[in-house]
Amino acid sequence: MAQSRRHGLLYAFLKSLSDYYIPVHILTILEYKLSITLHIASHQIYRPTTMLPPLQHYRLLSAIRSQNIIGWDSFLKGFISKLWRSVYDDICTSYQPTSDHHQTLPWDYSLTTLSISLFKGIWDDCNKFLHGAHRAEKSTILWH
């Protein structure tokens, strides 16, 4: 049940990011790495249809390595490598979205906010399981 809930939260997070026109190359990495971190199966919904040019590919790998050092569990808590911003900017200059969507907040701010929301959703779900969703359920759990 916990895995199912985490799966739903992860894919809601990824969907929110895709609404910000995050390049699919970044979504693919986030889907893979966060599914490993959360111990859930990845469905590989996000798949790039094009290859990145060598320089962009190198920058993407550098951002992944940097986040590996910081930790993907730390990513969920808002500790996100600065290199993601440069990868995002670099890819977006090459692949502009076809829509006229304009972001009101900077991408890195949105990424951090959404990642912390994902972590909070997981935390809330865990607390409901451990402590109950409401007072009656909480008192039942305390007596067992």
pLDDT value of position 99: 47
Domain with 116 in it: 2-142
More confident residue, 135 or 83: 83
> pLDDT at residue 101 above 90?
no
Region 9-32: mean pLDDT is 94
pTM value?
Answer: 0.81
Mean pLDDT over each residue of the chain, to the nearest integer: 85
Q: Cα(94)–Cα(100) distance, rounded to whole angstroms? A: 16
The count of structural domains within the chain is 1
Question: Among 8, 6, 21, which residue's Cα sits nearest to residue 110?
Answer: 21
pLDDT value of position 106: 80
What's the N-to-C CA distance of the chain in angstroms? 20
> pLDDT at residue 77 above 70?
yes
